[in-house]
């Protein structure tokens, strides 16, 4: 720390002795220059080495205890931050995954409901266990009331869907007309009337055969009836969807 | 020896040789010396700036420069070493850096006044 002192506080002593020395010992000039060069080389060397050391992180080996503690604390808080970030991202990922699952489940449920409603409404064909009833009416004595009875008895016995003489029965199906001129939903049908219903075949045929029931009425009218339960019947007549003209879905009170 | 006779060539040449040697050899600093090397470098820089200022003031003395250079480095390293032994090494090295930094700034300001006359 002498250079600054030499330049500021005691510049006095130097000039005259220096000139004297210069004359007395000119050989010292190159020696001093060499010394200065060596010192500067040392400085450059140390500078380069230090820059390398800082750059390459190996400085940690010689760092002080308190510095190491500080670095460690920094790294730990950084690690904590990154950990919590990982947790957040994982939560988000799980949410997205479960959202995808529940969306798929909702789609599946909606599809199932749509199928059930379509079967009930008669917009798609259906198959399953059930029975086939054939009412042959050679003398045109079976009127629409008997067929209506049959439909209602079958429904009451748990038939899920059915068709009468090739016409699918839905919620708004109407059976009208006199014997020999029966119309179902405005479509004229002719004997023999074949009713196909899906449900528990045994229960359905029992419902047809109760005393005073459909079978009795058909026989009283002078026609014949043939009831055949089967493990597999197909209801393939379709009816257009009854689009509601006035009714709209009411808002869900839970919302 | 007024500095101008040797010119700025020798110190600059030495500096360049030292830097290239440091880069080319890429030696690893011994662990015990690692806390002192940056302090020593700053102390040496202070001596060099002081020397440049003395040159511009035309009062440069090679002996003063050499002695101040070596003593700067040794004293700075000693202070830090002492601080390490006392358990206040980090604080003392900060103190040394601050003092040397202030001196470098002062010398740089003097050099600036010489060079730019402002």
Check A4 against B46: CB less than 8 A apart.
yes
Residue A249 is assigned to a structural domain of this protein:
no
Closest CA to A135 of A238, A213, A200, A222: A222
What DSSP designation does A210 have? Answer: S
pLDDT in tens, A137-150: 888 888 888 888 88
- The structural domain count of chain A equals 3
Residue A84 is assigned to a structural domain of this protein:
yes
- The structural domain count of chain B equals 1
Q: Where are the alpha helices (DSSP H) in chain A?
A: 2-8, 15-24, 27-56, 65-121, 144-156, 201-209, 214-220
Quick one: pLDDT at residue A57?
A: 62
List the 12-31 stretch of B: residues with Cβ below 8 A of A: 12-23, 26-29, 31
For B99, nearest residue in chain A (alpha carbons): A1
- Contact in structure between A36 and B13 (CB atoms under 8 Å): no
Region A224-237: mean pLDDT is 89
Same-domain check for residues A149 and A183: yes
pLDDT in tens, A149-205: 888 888 888 888 999 888 888 888 888 888 778 888 888 888 788 999 999 988 888
Name the pairing type of β-strands A182-184 and A175-176: antiparallel
Same-domain check for residues A228 and A135: yes
Task: Tell me the nearest-neighbour CA distance from B112 into chain A, angstroms.
Answer: 15
Number of other residues whose CB lies within 10 A of the CB of residue A130 = 29
Residue A2 is assigned to a structural domain of this protein:
no
Report the sign of the C-alpha dihedral through residues B5, B8, B9, B12, in that order: positive
Same-domain check for residues A27 and A103: no
Q: Does residue A117 belong to the interface with chain B, where contact is any CB pair within 8 Å?
A: no
Tell me if ipTM is over 0.85. no
Q: Is the pLDDT of residue A16 over 60?
A: no
Same-domain check for residues A135 and A215: yes
Q: Which chain B residues are closer than 8 Å to A27 by Cβ?
A: none
Same-domain check for residues A105 and A174: no
For residue A233, report the phi and psi dihedrals to the nearest 5 degrees.
-125, 160
Q: Does residue B102 belong to the interface with chain A, where contact is any CB pair within 8 Å?
A: no
Q: Which domain holds residue A105?
A: 65-121
> What CATH number does the domain containing A148 carry?
3.30.70.1880
Q: Does residue A58 belong to the interface with chain B, where contact is any CB pair within 8 Å?
A: yes
Number of other residues whose CB lies within 10 A of the CB of residue A152 = 13
Give the mean pLDDT of chain B. Answer: 86
pLDDT in tens, B6-18: 567 788 888 888 8
Kindly report the CA angle at A129 between A201 and A149, in degrees rounded to 5?
A: 45
Q: Does residue A71 belong to the interface with chain B, where contact is any CB pair within 8 Å?
A: no
Q: Does residue A6 belong to the interface with chain B, where contact is any CB pair within 8 Å?
A: yes
Q: Does residue B109 belong to the interface with chain A, where contact is any CB pair within 8 Å?
A: no
Q: Which domain holds residue B76?
A: 3-116
Quick one: pLDDT at residue A1?
A: 40
Check B64 against A59: CB less than 8 A apart.
no
pLDDT in tens, B54-90: 988 888 888 888 999 999 999 999 998 998 888 888 8
Give Rg (Cα) of chain B.
16
Nearest by CB to B11, from A36, A50, A54: name it.
Answer: A36
Residue A156 is assigned to a structural domain of this protein:
yes
pLDDT in tens, A81-105: 999 999 999 999 988 888 888 888 8
Q: Which chain B residues are closer than 8 Å to A50 by Cβ?
A: 29, 37-38, 41
Give Rg (Cα) of chain A.
51
Last residue of a domain, one of A121, A141, A168: A121
Higher pLDDT, A241 or A163: A163
Residue A38 is assigned to a structural domain of this protein:
yes
Number of other residues whose CB lies within 10 A of the CB of residue A180 = 13
Residue A8 is assigned to a structural domain of this protein:
no
Last residue of a domain, one of A121, A143, A168: A121
Residue A179 is assigned to a structural domain of this protein:
yes
Quick one: pLDDT at residue A22?
A: 43
Same-domain check for residues A117 and A141: no
For B3, nearest residue in chain A (alpha carbons): A33
Q: Is the pLDDT of residue A19 over 60?
A: no
Residue A85 is assigned to a structural domain of this protein:
yes
> Where residue B99 falls among pLDDT bands split at 50, 70, 90?
very high
């Amino acid at each position: 720390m002498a250079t600054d002192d030499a330049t500021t506080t005691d510049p006095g002593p130097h000039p005259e002795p220096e000139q004297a020395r210069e004359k007395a010992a000119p050989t010292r000039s190159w020696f001093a220059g060499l010394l200065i060069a060596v010192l500067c080389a040392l400085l450059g060397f140390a500078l380069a080495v230090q820059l390398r050391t800082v750059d390459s992180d190996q400085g940690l080996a010689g760092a002080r205890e308190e510095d190491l503690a500080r670095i460690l604390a920094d790294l730990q808080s950084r690690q904590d931050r990154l950990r919590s970030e990982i947790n957040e991202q994982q939560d988000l990922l799980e949410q997205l995954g479960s959202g995808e699952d529940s969306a798929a489940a909702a789609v599946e449920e909606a599809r199932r409901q749509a199928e059930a409603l379509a079967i009930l409404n008669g917009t798609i064909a259906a198959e399953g266990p059930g029975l086939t009833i054939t009412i042959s009416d050679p003398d045109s004595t079976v009127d629409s009331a008997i067929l209506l009875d049959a439909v209602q008895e079958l429904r009451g016995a748990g038939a899920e869907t059915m068709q009468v003489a090739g016409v699918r029965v839905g919620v708004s199906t109407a059976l009208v007309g006199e014997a020999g001129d029966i119309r179902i939903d405005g479509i004229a049908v002719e004997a023999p009337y074949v009713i196909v219903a899906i449900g528990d075949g045994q229960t359905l045929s029992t419902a047809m055969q109760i005393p005073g029931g459909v079978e009795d009425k058909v026989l009283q009218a002078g026609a014949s009836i043939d009831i055949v339960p089967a493990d597999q019947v197909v209801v393939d007549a379709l009816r257009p969807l009854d689009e509601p003209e006035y009714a709209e879905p009411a808002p869900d009170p839970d919302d | 020896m007024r500095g101008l006779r040797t010119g700025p060539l020798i110190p600059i040449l030495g500096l360049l040789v030292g830097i290239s040697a440091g880069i080319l050899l890429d030696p690893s600093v011994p662990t015990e010396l690692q806390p002192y090397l940056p302090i020593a470098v700053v102390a040496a820089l202070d001596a060099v700036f002081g020397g440049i200022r003395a040159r511009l003031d035309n009062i440069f003395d090679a002996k003063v420069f050499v002695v101040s250079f070596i003593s700067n480095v040794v004293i700075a390293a000693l202070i830090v070493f002492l601080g390490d032994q006392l358990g206040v090494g980090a604080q003392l090295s900060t103190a040394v850096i601050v003092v040397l930094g202030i001196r470098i700034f002062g010398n740089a300001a003097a050099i600036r006044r010489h060079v730019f006359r402002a």
